[in-house]
Structure 1
Amino acid sequence: MPDRLVHIVDDVPELDDTSELTMVLVLDGFLDAGNAAGRAAQHLVDLSDGRVVATFDVDELHDYRARRPPMSFVRDHYASYDAPRLVVRLLADAGGTPYLLLQGPEPDTRWEAFCVAVREVVERFGVTRVVGMGSVPMAVPHTRPIAITHHANNPGLLTGESPWRGELRIPSSAQALLEIRLGEWGHDAMGFVAHVPHYLAQMDYPRASAALLEQVEIAGRLTVDLSGLRAEAEDREAEIARYLAANAEVADVVEALERQYDAFERAEESGAGLLAEEQRLPTGEELGKEFERFLAGLDGPESSDGDED
């Protein structure tokens, strides 16, 4: 077993005069419908010529047989191997403010040890707030605003109201556990989860990525150029609109979902209840069946060029 789970760069002069430091957190593999968080993280990397300042020992955290990394076979030999990397990068926002990005596959094992290792990063660099991103599939139409669930280990960090009432029992994640542990150790951590239309959850949905980064800007006190991401989102929305215009059955399903969403909003505003009477929510199977060809077409060879990171 290695002596250290994380290896941290000793000299980072860019942070010497920093009194407040945000670390953005995105772990792949669980909360990422529509690749919203992953695409948002890649957008941050693309915008800034940063460098790696901490590296986690992935061999201690990754289940290779459960999530096999891709590799290339060229004619008669293995040519390359895309090794999983879990790293912390030093980036800068549009105004030159430095911040950190912890990105990579969610650990499959040793969650508690991973949390301790992240704590070491937080304390070594003087991180003042950790801001996580995630996304979940929800029964919502793509024609309505992206809803965001706000969460934090300190109530004073919350920047919006929660749409949930009472207690929900949900599957745990390393990212969620980290927020709890950081709070226990006296470190502020918060996050945002975008609600992605569940019939679009298997494709890149940059509109949700932009919505997440808008929240990160506020919480992390950063400035991020979202113009490129918003252009991607407009192109994707146009593709969806063209498909709906040519497929009346699919459009009917989405319209039913819109009616359900609007009835829900009216009920919430009036306090009458969460679901309107005589409004049936389309099932995931119905939407999935109708959009199966649509998703295959958008992610096919003809359109994949614009979706590559």
Structure 2
Amino acid sequence: MGKRERLVHIVDEVQELEAVRDAGGDLTMVLVLDGFLDAGSAAARAAQHLTDLSDGPVVATFDVDQFHDYRARRPSMTFVRDHYAAYDAPRLLVRLLHDAGGTPYLMLQGPEPDNRWEAFCGAVREVVETLGVTRVIGIGSVPMAVPHTRPIALTPHANDPALLTGTSPWRGELRIPSSAQALLEIRLGEWGHEAMGFVAHVPHYLAQMDYPLAAAVLLEQVEIAGRLTIDLSGLRAEAEDTEAEIATYLTANQEVADVVAALERQYDAFERAEEDGASLLAPDQPLPTGEEIGRQFEQFLAGLDGPEEPGPSDQERG
């Protein structure tokens, strides 16, 4: 227990949470770890939307120095003329938020730990058990060979089949890169705690830009699984604006539109065939390469996602 205490500091008395626990109520904790599962910045944008709606107090803080590789992901600093003026320290913390109806819930957000994943899982377990969390919901997104003109698909997952709110598009077994977020779901299940999540499938040619539609889709699932009510009107309006910009660009660039049309045919053929979910390609229809699509969309992404004023590059942000 001593080691865990050094890894996370939990606020001793949060009366509102104690009242929920004493009444035997549910307490959801949304999990968003930056750095891996976030194509289109969908999870980050979803987390920002939640804090914009209800920026509550911090109730737990992790010792980031124990988890962060500063040379691999260097935090930003501000240099003014002849001195260093500010340092944007990475923060891994839990906030107390409220939904549209006033229901309290938590959000654990920050950079995915670069090391000591098992220790991190143990620290999160302490947060869950101390604050009375009844369900953890992780969100993320991955780039997929899908067109933006079709509904965003989701991969639901959970450490208890009874928690699943949808059907997985995959069949059989897949070998995938691991993440601290995924490992946490496994460990929480071993410790008797409910954990689940959703991964949005973002068109891979849009994975480097902000894609608010995917963020809205993820939060719709958080509403259902967490029994919360979240005002998504602003996020949906932002998504509509982005979709309109994409449509305008495709109208003016026939070559790019042809590539998207090819993806649509492949996607529709796959849906009709209902074949093995391990591939999103229809038989005998080769997918345009990522390089081909990337070249066509380079100008598009620069125009849509470029900063209005000088700022860190995409690589620096990633």
Shift of 1:73: 1.0
Deviation at 1:185, TM superposition (A): 0.2
Assess if the C-alpha contact under 8 Å between 2:4 and 2:126 holds in 1: no
CA drift of 1:286 comes to 1.1
In the TM superposition, what is the alpha-carbon distance from 1:300 to its structure 2 partner? 2.1
Find the counterpart in structure 1 of residue 177 from structure 2.
171
2:160–2:189 Cα contact (<8 Å) kept: yes
Q: Are 1:231 and 2:233 counterparts?
A: no
- Partner of 2:6, secondary structure, is coil
CA distance in 2, matches of 1:187, 1:255: 44
CA–CA distance in structure 2, aligned partners of residues 2 and 134 of structure 1? 26
**Do structure 1's residue 36 and structure 2's residue 38 form an aligned pair?**
no
**How far does residue 3 in structure 1 lie from its aligned partner after superposition?**
5.2
Q: Deviations 1:162-202 (Å, cap 9, x if unpaired)?
A: 10011101111000000000000000000000000000000
**Residue 170 of structure 2 corresponds to residue 157 of structure 1:** no
Conserved in 2, the CA contact under 8 Å of 1:268 and 1:274?
A: no
Match of 2:13 in 1: 11
User: Secondary structure of the residue that 2:166 maps to in structure 1?
Assistant: coil
Other-structure match for 2:81: 75
- Paired position in structure 2 for 1:65: 71
Q: 2:109 aligns with which of 103, 108, 111?
A: 103
Q: CA deviation at 1:79?
A: 1.2
Structure 2: runs of 5+ lacking an equivalent: 312-318
Q: Given the two structures, how large is their TM-score scaled by the length of structure 2? A: 0.92
Counterpart selection for 1:192 from 194, 198, 208: 198
Q: CA deviation at 1:297?
A: 1.1
**1:299 shift after superposition:** 1.8
Counterpart of 1:139? 145
Taking the aligned partners of 1:30 and 1:93, their CA distance within structure 2 comes to 27
RMSD of Structure 2 on Structure 1 (CA): 2.0
Q: How does 1:208-227 map to 2 (within 5 A)?
A: 208-227=214-233
> Alpha-carbon deviation of 1:277?
4.1
**Which deviations, in whole Å up to 9, do the C-alpha atoms of 1:127-173 show, x marking residues without a partner?**
11000000000000000000000000000000000100111011110
Q: Tell me the TM-score normalised to structure 1 length.
A: 0.95
Aligned residues, how many? 304
Aligned to 1:201: 207
Deviation at 1:78, TM superposition (A): 1.1
2:86 counterpart SS class: strand
Which amino acid in 2 is paired with 1:10?
D
Deviation at 1:49, TM superposition (A): 3.1
- Gaps of at least 5 residues in structure 1 are none
Task: Extract structure 1 runs of 4+ deviating beyond 3 A.
Answer: 273-278, 301-305
Displacement after TM superposition at 1:206 (Å): 0.3
**Would the aligned equivalents of 1:298 and 1:304 in 2 still touch at CA under 8 Å?**
no
What is the deviation of 1:302? Answer: 4.6
2:32 aligns to what SS in structure 1? strand
Instruction: Tell me the CA shift for residue 279 of structure 1.
Output: 2.4
Shift of 1:260: 0.6
**8 Å contact 1:91–1:99 — kept in the other structure?**
yes
**Seq. identity, %:** 82
Cα distance change, pair 78–263 in 1 and its aligned pair in 2 (3 A): same
Match in the other structure for 2:316:
none
CA distance in 2, matches of 1:143, 1:9: 46
Taking a change above 3 Å as real, the CA distance of residues 26 and 270 of structure 1, as seen in their structure-2 partners, is closer
Matched letter for residue 221 of structure 1: R
Q: CA deviation at 1:261?
A: 0.5
CA 1:65/1:201 → structure 2, altered by over 3 Å: closer, same or farther? Answer: same
